[in-house]
Amino acid sequence: MLHFCFPLSGRQRSRAPAHTDAFVLEFVVSHGKALVETMMRLAIVLGAALGAEAFVARPTPKYMAVTRRPAAAKVNMDMAILPKINKLLKSPVIGGVPIVPVVAGVAVAAPVIKKILDTPSRTYNREENTVGKEYDAWTEEGILEHYWGEHIHLGWYSPQEMKDGYKKKNFIQAKYDFIDRMMAFSGLNALEKPPAKVLDVGCGIGGTSRYLASKLGSDSHVTGITLSPNQVARATALAKERGLDNTEFKVMDALAMKFPDNSFDMVWACESGEHMPDKKKYVEEMARVLKPGGVMVMATWCSRDDTEKPLDEVERKNLNYLESEWTHPHFISIEDYVKHFESTGYLETIHSEDWWECTIASWRHSIWVGVYDPWPVVRRPWVWYKTLRDGICLERFHRSFDTGLMGYGMVRARKSTEGYMVKDVTM
Ligand code: SAH
């Protein structure tokens, strides 16, 4: 007689008599029958035993007695647990690493990992010039430039492009489209002649400055300022490479600009306000250096207006993360920016819009370009951790724009001048 003892699966256990943790198959090998035949039947019963229903429904084989009975608790425990542990340890192995123990380890470590990833790693500190240092590092690594090109700002996607699937659009082209839209939004295209002197506040590696310089023509001159010396060096080198001699780049703090009052015909600020610890001063400084009648235009990530509905705890926590992870002191709402524009006393025809819908695709698109082309990251192991964090941050920005916690602020204005007529132009 042969005995086989099997632990019951959860489903089988629910159908078995109380206190049954295993079932026993008794095989009575009848005398005179070939062992082969017995073994074949044994295989059939074993197969059936793997599914309780099939097993129960199957009639008792001719040469075997199949019984199901409760077994002693100790034995059952052994039978139930040991094979499982054994199976776990023999589970699929990839590159010599047993997957299940590793997964179990990750499960234990997950809360710790989550805590680390949730804690912002690049908090803003003005005294230490964290903004300048971060952009220095990004410029040196070249990863950002590889994926985002020369423009460090979101792209623009039309409703049709969103419908067709944003991934079909060229990621870099979306950024040029954004600048074209921002130019149109500023009212610049309706001016009688292109602005002669343009200031690009927070110019990155100068992508936008150079684009404006070539679009506006050689009668215009674009000055870009940034806190990062590496960005100035890269921006200058790229301008030289392109043979552009109507741009220049300087390291200068937008909150304490060295330019005299009324210096520029146009002040352009694309995604630099996020990094400003004093948004009012930022707006005032830009308005100060703008010539009377000049155009001022700003694009910036904003938190939602919280005057009627204060931010709840989860929103505040999310904002803290989004602000600190990429070295932003804090965000403010579009409405608060408008108030800062108004309070200067000499900015007129102030107009604001929220462009979250036509820019939101940029966040996930940015992740996808990395997935499609991982080699620049793969070959630089020292950026893996940072890139992982950036991927998470991109996704969290997407969600915050999607849920309305964040908005994409576009604000334009003119500096007042007696008798100056402003033509309102929107696309
Ligand atoms: N407008 C750029 C890139 C924006 S990235 C483009 O079109 O590509 C943000 C830029 O703002 C960085 O260059 C950063 O150095 C700059 N910045 C942030 N705070 C600044 C400050 N206080 N003064 C000057 N530049 C600042």
Tens digit of each residue's pLDDT (9 = 90 or more) over 340-371: 999 999 999 999 999 999 999 999 999 999 99
Ligand 1 centroid to Cα of residue 326, in Å, is 12
Amino acid at 107: A
Asked whether the predicted pLDDT for residue 6 surpasses 70, the reply is no
Nearest CA to ligand 1 atom 11: 202
Per-residue model confidence (pLDDT) at position 367: 94
Atom of ligand 1 nearest to the CA of 179: 7
- Count CB neighbours of 92 within 10 A: 8
Asked whether the predicted pLDDT for residue 114 surpasses 80, the reply is yes
Burial of 108 (C-beta count, 10 Å sphere; 0-12/13-18/19+): exposed
Give residues (CB < 6 A) around ligand 1.
131, 135, 151-153, 202-204, 207-208, 225-228, 231, 253-255, 270-272, 275-276
Span 47-94, pLDDT tens digits: 444 443 333 333 334 333 344 444 443 444 445 666 666 666 666 777
Over residues 123-143, the mean pLDDT reads 90
Compute CA distances 66 → 1, 63, 77, 168, whole Å: 11, 10, 22, 62
Beta strands in 204-323 (DSSP E): 221-226, 247-251, 264-270, 290-303
Each domain of the chain, given as residue ranges in start order, spans: 130-415
Over residues 385-409, the mean pLDDT reads 94
Over residues 307-326, the mean pLDDT reads 94
pTM of the model: 0.75
Ligand 1 centroid to Cα of residue 274, in Å, is 9
Ligand 1 centroid to Cα of residue 210, in Å, is 15
Count of alpha carbons within 13 angstroms of residue 92, beta-carbon side: 3
User: Looking at per-residue confidence, does 381 or 278 come out higher?
Assistant: 278
Over residues 27-31, the mean pLDDT reads 47
User: Looking at per-residue confidence, does 427 or 323 come out higher?
Assistant: 323
Compute CA distances 320 → 118, 205, 300, 315, 324, whole Å: 10, 27, 17, 8, 6
Ligand 1 centroid to Cα of residue 424, in Å, is 28
Gap between the Cα atoms of 63 and 274, Å rounded? 81
Q: Quick one: fold of 130-415?
A: Rossmann fold (3.40.50)
User: Looking at per-residue confidence, does 55 or 193 come out higher?
Assistant: 193
Span 233-282, pLDDT tens digits: 999 999 999 999 999 999 999 999 999 999 999 999 999 999 999 999 99
Ligand 1 centroid to Cα of residue 202, in Å, is 3
Count of alpha carbons within 13 angstroms of residue 13, beta-carbon side: 12
Per-residue model confidence (pLDDT) at position 60: 39
What is the CA angle 60-61-62, rounded to 5?
Answer: 115
Gap between the Cα atoms of 205 and 229, Å rounded? 10
In three-state secondary structure terms, 22 is strand
Span 152-188, pLDDT tens digits: 999 999 999 999 999 999 999 999 999 999 999 999 8
